[in-house]
Copies of this chain bind each other. A is one copy, B any other.
C-alpha cells in the first residue's frame, strides 16, 4: 500500500515554481494546498466538481461520450469539504475584487444554509475570502458572515466592510509550500 507521495511532492513543487510570480487564483492555491495536505497525511479535503445540468450527450463511434449541451447549475452546497484531525470541515472560497467591502451577493443562499447546518451538526464551517487588491486572505468565521447576511435580508448593508475583516476575521498567510496554509489558521481558530 505504498502511495507515491514523493512524486506528488515533486509535481507540486514544479507547479509552484512555474506559477511563482504569475498570481495564481484562489481556487488553484487551495487545490494545491489540499494536494499537499493529502500527500502529507494532514487532511483529506477536496473541491467538489462544478454542478452541471447535462441536456444532450452524443456517442460518436469508437470514441467516448461527448456532452454537447449542458448548463451551469447553482451549487446547493459549498465548494470544499473533507476531514481534518478527525473533524468534518466545510468551507466556501471567494475572491473579492473590491477595495472597501465584500459584497454578500458573492454567496449563494444555499451555501449559507448549508454552512449553518454543518455547524449545527458539529462540523467546522467557514469562508475563505481573498482580497485581490491587497493580496490578503482571510478565514471569515461563519457567525460573522451570517450576522451581515441576516442584516442584509433585513434591509441593512449588503456587504461586509474591509474593517470587519481586520477586526473579526483571521488572516491566512500566503506561503511557499503549501501555498495557502489555511489549516494553520483553522488550528488557531478551532483547535486552540
Contact = CB atoms under 8 A, between A and B. Distances in A.
A76 B8 CA distance: 15
Given A67-B71, A71-B67, A72-B67, A83 B121 contact: yes
Contacts of A117: 38, 44
> Quick one: which of A44, A64, A118, A120 has the most chain B CB within 10 A?
A44
Interface in A145-180: none
Nearest to A89: B88
A52 B70 contact: yes
A155 to B, nearest CB: 17
A32 B116 CA distance: 21
Contacts of A66: 69-71
A97 to B, nearest CB: 20
A49 interface: yes
7 contacts: A43-B121, A50-B52, A52-B52, A67-B71, A83-B90, A86-B122, A88-B88
